[in-house]
Structure 1
Amino acid sequence: MTYETDGRRLIDGIDLTVAPGETVGLVGPNGSGKTTLLRCVYGTLRPTGGRALLDGDDLAALTPKARARRVATVPQDGHLDVELTVREVVAMGRSPHKRFWEGDTAADAALADEALARVGVGDLARRAFPSLSGGERQRALVARALVQQPSLLVLDEPTNHLDIRHQLAVLGLVARESAATCLLALHDLNLAAYYCDRVYVLRAGRVVAAGPPAEVFTPALLAEVYGVAATVTRHPVTGAPVVVYLPDGGPDADPEADPDATVL
């Protein structure tokens, strides 16, 4: 898949596959193309080359409502300028499954209440959505995506604004408990290593590595892609890779190294 605008390729020839039931992560530095790729998948952008297919169907050829029945998304900013309650925003997830004149059923209400409880904002159901903190809004939008009951969940930095407890809870919910296939962008490599079956590493709009986190996350790759020195070990309990950054480049750092090199 390729996306070009103003003569500049933001993603360039990306070939990515997510198998049913998998959780696949996109990682890479700022500006590497993660958000652009996700927008091409969920329909905000139309690829200028290639296609995004879901079970063989071209997502760009579907109507917005048909696509929303199959793909749910949680965007990066979590902004909705609507004067609705949290529960009303979450219930919007049922809209793709209804005719425009149909109201919510008892089953719809039960789904919304269950999703609110699962993301830990059930007590905020009657609050005005704009009054929520960034983390509360993010969790409410995850609940709305779950209520859609999609086959594919697309999440762009779903842990934005969340404290550690809720980062783990939300990722556990979407990656481990949800029946949906998940494609998500993450900055935290340790979260990606634990929750993702496979990861794609992007740089300058291209895939530079792909595979299970244990194979992909190496000190050499982190130095090449992020410009950081790091060690990679295995967690003694989970067995997942654990990335530990060396902020000053470590004991063997080159004294002539760029002091502005990115540190996550």
Structure 2
Amino acid sequence: MTADPVELAVEAVRYEVDGHTLLHGIDLTARPGETVGVVGPNGSGKTTLLRCVYGALRPTGGRVLLDGVDAGALGVKDRARRVAVVPQDAAGTFGLTVGEVVAMGRSPHKRFWEQDGPQDARRVAEALETVGAAAFADRRFEELSGGERQRALVARALVQAPGLLALDEPTNHLDIRYQLEILGLVRALPATGLLVLHDLNLAASFCDRLYVLSAGRVAASGPPERVLTEELLAEVYGVRTRVGVHPDTGAPNIVYVP
């Protein structure tokens, strides 16, 4: 359901608005098929960075490369064939059914005014089934719970068949079962994954590498076991923790200390 995985390179990306610098020369890489997490406290620049990657924002400095091609030089459709997005909210979906919202993901692969065909319908049905949303395919999107909406948005990204999945808090509003299922699905896909996450234990379990942002800069990067230290969490988040090793996964396991 995905294209060949994309190699992502973020080179010295800056972003400024109204005289304020939100990103200070960010460097980030994601190898083809790798799952990379971006973590950090509120206001650290995580969502701004993700929006620069998928084109909602144009960097005021630096560049984003997709398989070595400057993403800023790509047309909207060409970029959408390479990158699919799961945002924190879903604009432009009022009055549509869940199935219609998911089918929007096929737009980059169709000519203007081209109608959906059997292959499109099959991809939509498969994606809805994959994320556990088939039962409410005919319901209005705005009638769904937050968790149901999130699963539908993931399904829309899947039918886009991207080489890079950019996900902004994909576990937002989901109960623990669907958090694990959605992140497990993303990890299992051949596509490269770039995820903004708040839950550090989930990030440690499902990401190959992490970038920790603080005030628009990279405070640390590398494998979770090297990055998620008690010292760094105290410095970046201002909290006391105990970092151990999960007995089943071997990933860092963070316990917050009052």
TM-score relative to the length of structure 1: 0.92
The answer to whether the Cα contact below 8 Å between 1:78 and 1:138 also exists between their aligned partners in 2 is no
Q: How many residues align?
A: 246
Aligned residue runs from structure 1 range 1-264, under 5 A:
1-175=13-187, 177-247=188-258
Ranges of 4+ aligned residues in structure 1 off by more than 4 Å: none
Structure 2 unaligned segments of length 5 or more: list them. Answer: 1-12
Question: What per-residue deviation string (whole Å, max 9, x for no partner) do you get for residues 174-209 of structure 1?
Answer: 12x211100010000000000000000000000010
Amino acid at match of 2:178: H
Task: Write the distance in 2 (CA, Å) between the matches of 1:178 and 1:111.
Answer: 15
Structure 1 residues 81 and 144, CA, compared in 2 at 3 Å: closer, same or farther?
closer
Task: Write the distance in 2 (CA, Å) between the matches of 1:162 and 1:80.
Answer: 22
Question: What per-residue deviation string (whole Å, max 9, x for no partner) do you get for residues 142-190 of structure 1?
Answer: 0000000000000001111111111001111112x21110001000000
Q: Which has the higher strand share?
A: 2
Task: Write the distance in 1 (CA, Å) between the matches of 2:230 and 2:41.
Answer: 15
Amino acid at match of 2:202: L
Question: What per-residue deviation string (whole Å, max 9, x for no partner) do you get for residues 23-65 of structure 1?
Answer: 0000000000000000001111000000010001111111111
Amino acid at match of 2:78: A
Structure 1 unaligned segments of length 5 or more: list them. Answer: 248-264
Task: Write the distance in 2 (CA, Å) between the matches of 1:60 and 1:134.
Answer: 32
The answer to whether the Cα contact below 8 Å between 1:80 and 1:130 also exists between their aligned partners in 2 is no
Give the greater-gyration-radius structure (CA): 1
Q: SS of the residue aligned with 1:50?
A: strand
Q: SS of the residue aligned with 1:183?
A: strand
Task: Write the distance in 2 (CA, Å) between the matches of 1:88 and 1:208.
Answer: 41
The answer to whether the Cα contact below 8 Å between 1:90 and 1:147 also exists between their aligned partners in 2 is yes
Task: Write the distance in 2 (CA, Å) between the matches of 1:6 and 1:88.
Answer: 37
The answer to whether the Cα contact below 8 Å between 2:93 and 2:101 also exists between their aligned partners in 1 is no
What percent of counterpart residues are identical?
A: 69
Amino acid at match of 2:33: G
Which structure is higher in RCO with an 8 Å CA cutoff and minimum separation 6?
Answer: 2
Amino acid at match of 1:205: G
Task: Write the distance in 2 (CA, Å) between the matches of 1:170 and 1:45.
Answer: 26
Amino acid at match of 2:16: E
Task: Write the distance in 2 (CA, Å) between the matches of 1:105 and 1:162.
Answer: 32
Q: SS of the residue aligned with 1:16?
A: strand
Task: Write the distance in 2 (CA, Å) between the matches of 1:19 and 1:82.
Answer: 36
The answer to whether the Cα contact below 8 Å between 1:78 and 1:134 also exists between their aligned partners in 2 is no
Shift of 1:80: 4.1
Task: Please name the residue that 1:259 is paired with.
Answer: none
Task: Write the distance in 1 (CA, Å) between the matches of 2:112 and 2:146.
Answer: 30
Question: What per-residue deviation string (whole Å, max 9, x for no partner) do you get for residues 205-255 of structure 1?
Answer: 0001000000000100010000000011111111111000002xxxxxxxx
Q: SS of the residue aligned with 2:158?
A: helix
Task: Write the distance in 2 (CA, Å) between the matches of 1:168 and 1:78.
Answer: 22
Shift of 1:79: 4.5
